[in-house]
Amino acid sequence: MKYNIRGENIEVTGAIRDYVEKKIGKLARYFDTPPSSDVNVNLSVYNDEQKIEVTIPMPNLLLRAEVQHLDLYAAIDLAADKLERQIRKYKTKVNRKFRQEGSPKHIFADLEKEAEIEREEESDEVEIVRKKQFDLKPMDSEEAVLQMDMLGHAFYVFTNAISGNTNVVYRRKDGKYGLIEPNS
């Protein structure tokens, strides 16, 4: 894995870089072959609050963790634990999905062992504070729900593999899932 570690209001020292690589590198044991993609790590400090965001993009899968803590090293530990829990929770579903698609190997190794929504203050003006662009990958609604849960988001936008339309899955207040489809 190649690491891309950035600091915002913090200098990324050699010790911090080594600690991040050591903790996130332990996740390689969960893969048959370690991901060849970049591991994007953003470290930031605001008013004594340390924040770490880790994103590991892989083919047909995205692992992501975001943690805030008073101690930077504790935040790194918590982010690694969060990624490990995601992998353990979803490895069976993901491996089954790839076997169904005819893939000769599964992504996660067979091992014997086992985001929160930000709330903003309401204002009269609409202010877009962040813009994201990403490729919509064709998938079914079950895989979209899996991706949404792995990201820790409340919704997920995807291209429906059957109809070719852009759809949205979301988590309802009762804990179940909803699907938004355009009228044809």
* Predicted local confidence at residue 85, as pLDDT: 84
Q: Tell if the pTM clears 0.85, that is, is over it.
A: no
**For 9-49, how does the pLDDT look when each residue is reduced to its tens digit (9 = 90+)?**
889 999 999 999 999 888 877 776 666 678 889 999 988 88
CA 75 vs CA 20, 42, 50, 52, 60: distances in Å: 10, 12, 7, 6, 27
Who contacts 121 (Cβ-Cβ below 8 Å, separation ≥6)?
A: none
**For 63-83, how does the pLDDT look when each residue is reduced to its tens digit (9 = 90+)?**
889 999 999 999 999 999 998
Helix/strand/coil for 156:
strand
**For 95-127, how does the pLDDT look when each residue is reduced to its tens digit (9 = 90+)?**
565 555 555 444 454 443 333 333 333 444 667
Phi, psi of 68 (to 5 degrees): -120, 140
What CATH code would you report for 138-180?
Answer: 3.30.505.50
Residue with tokens 């050591």: 22
Q: Are 53 and 66 in contact (CB under 8 A)?
A: yes
Q: Can you read off the two tokens belonging to residue 42?
A: 């953003």
Q: Over 50: is that where the pLDDT of 156 sits?
A: yes
Please give the residue that has the higher pLDDT: either 112 or 56: 56
Residue ranges of domains in the chain: 2-100, 138-180
CA 35 vs CA 48, 62, 116, 176: distances in Å: 33, 11, 26, 32
* Predicted local confidence at residue 180, as pLDDT: 92
Phi, psi of 4 (to 5 degrees): -120, 95
CATH classification of 2-100 is 3.40.50.11890, yes or no?
no
As a whole number of angstroms, the distance between CA 184 and CA 164 comes to 11
